[in-house]
């Protein structure tokens, strides 16, 4: 998870460094287009998937929603500080929890509701409406968190019907397709240096998802989830040292509140699952 955090901070730093010359839609499109090279080893497993109309619908819907989220993330990256992008990105698990309750019938216990309330209060601390101007970049990150949350819920459904390789590959393909019209509408010919930066973004993003998968396989979420707080620390320091962004204590506090709520929900879920699979003392031993 430490390496994962470094990879994802590298992604945000490179996109920030790229600057506004390339429109956000084009930057996002080129990042996914260049990243398709990583799908070549997956071709064999993709051929074995049995396509159905329902599966098509889930794949296309997820691709469309994730495209919007990616577009908004790239838009926000060049308009608000790195620390604020990172802190507000922690909202996705909160949206996942709410979506699971609304659309999948999962129950919201009082502890979950309290944790969600703390996370939303963290957003208010970051944005501080009435005390400072809320920029389009902040609104874009709210949209990003929401669309990514729904995308993760659809991914959970897809994994149950197919396999993780298929889910990752289809997301890459359909986000590339979904971003193409927006990119072509305001196309700016990139230089070789800009293409190299965007390919590096694709490499770091892919590496981050891979190391995150390794972390999930090696340790429970209660161990890995709190480590993601370091992303906020690194993003804050990088923004201050490399891009001259001031360190906003309120953003750090708000981000900590959001991540604390997410970590609590993760820990609580792990405890409930452990309790469910632990046999009582009088249970027969097999």
Dump pLDDT digits (tens) for 226-283. Answer: 677 778 888 888 888 888 888 888 888 988 888 888 888 777 777 776 766 555 444 4
SS3 132: strand
DSSP bridge partners of 153: none
Report the pLDDT value the prediction gives residue 222, as an integer from 0 to 100: 59
| Backbone phi, psi, residue 129, to 5° | -60, 135
Q: Which domain holds residue 239?
A: 2-276
Whether 205 contacts 31, CB under 8 Å:
yes
* Residue 169 falls inside a structural domain: yes
* Residues in the chain with pLDDT values less than 70: 104, 130, 216-217, 220-226, 273, 275-286
Residue 232 lies in a domain: yes
What is the number of alpha carbons within 13 Å of residue 29 lying toward its C-beta? 19
What does the block give as tokens for 97? 């929890």
**The pair of three-digit structure tokens given for residue 145, joined into one six-digit string:** 């968190």
Residue 284 lies in a domain: no
Burial of 271 (0-12, 13-18, 19+ CB in 10 A): exposed
Check: CB of residue 1 under 8 Å from CB of residue 222: no
Quote the Cα angle for 65-211-217, to 5°: 95
Residue 190 CA to its chain's centroid (Å):
26
Residue 262 lies in a domain: yes
How many helices (H) and strands (E) would you count in the chain? 13, 0
Rounded CA separation 89/9 (Å): 12
Query: Tokens at residue 230, please?
Result: 């370091």
CB burial of 104-128 (b: ≥16 within 10 Å; e: otherwise) equals eeeeeeeebeebbebbeebbebbbe
What's the full length of the chain, in residues? 286
- Tell me how far apart the alpha carbons of residues 39 and 22 are, in angstroms, rounded to a whole number: 25
Rounded to the nearest 5°, which phi and psi values hold at 34? -65, -30
Could you tell me if residue 142 is inside a domain?
yes
**Residue among 178, 179, 273, 259 nearest 220 (CA):** 273
Residue 249: what pLDDT? Answer: 87
Any domain includes 283 = no
Is 286 among the domain residues?
no
The answer to the question of residue 78 being in a domain is: yes
Question: What is the number of structural domains in the chain?
Answer: 1
**Quick one: which of 78, 205, 94, 85 has its CA closest to 146?**
94
Q: How many CA atoms lie within 13 A of 121 on its CB side?
A: 11
Give the closest residue to 266 by CA, choosing from 119, 126, 148. 119
Euclidean distance between the first and final Cα of the chain, in Å?
A: 36
């Amino acid at each position: 998870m430490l390496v994962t955090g470094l990879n994802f901070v590298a992604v945000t730093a490179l996109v920030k460094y790229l600057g506004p010359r390339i429109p956000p839609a084009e930057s996002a499109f080129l990042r996914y287009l260049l990243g398709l090279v990583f799908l070549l080893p997956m071709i064999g497993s993709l051929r074995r998937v049995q396509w159905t109309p329902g599966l098509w619908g889930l794949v296309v819907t997820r691709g469309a929603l994730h495209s919007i989220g990616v577009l908004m993330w790239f838009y926000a990256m060049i308009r608000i500080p790195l620390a604020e992008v990172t802190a507000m990105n922690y909202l996705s698990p909160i949206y996942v929890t709410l979506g699971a309750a609304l659309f999948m019938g999962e129950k919201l216990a009082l502890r979950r509701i309290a944790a969600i309330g703390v996370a939303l209060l963290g957003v208010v601390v970051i944005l501080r409406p009435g005390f400072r101007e809320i920029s389009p970049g902040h609104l874009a990150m709210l949209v990003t968190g929401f669309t990514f949350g729904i995308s993760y819920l659809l991914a959970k459904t897809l994994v149950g019907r197919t396999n993780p390789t298929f889910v990752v590959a289809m997301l890459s393909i359909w986000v590339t397709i979904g971003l193409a019209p927006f990119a072509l509408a305001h196309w700016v010919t990139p230089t070789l240096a800009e293409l190299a930066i965007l390919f590096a973004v694709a490499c770091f993003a892919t590496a981050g998802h891979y190391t995150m998968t390794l972390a999930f396989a090696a340790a429970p979420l209660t161990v890995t989830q709190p480590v993601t707080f370091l992303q906020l620390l690194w993003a804050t320091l990088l923004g201050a040292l490399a891009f001259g962004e001031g360190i906003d204590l309120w953003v750090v506090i708000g981000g900590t509140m959001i991540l604390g709520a997410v970590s609590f929900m993760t820990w609580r879920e792990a405890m409930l699952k452990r309790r469910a699979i632990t046999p009582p003392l009088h249970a027969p031993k097999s």
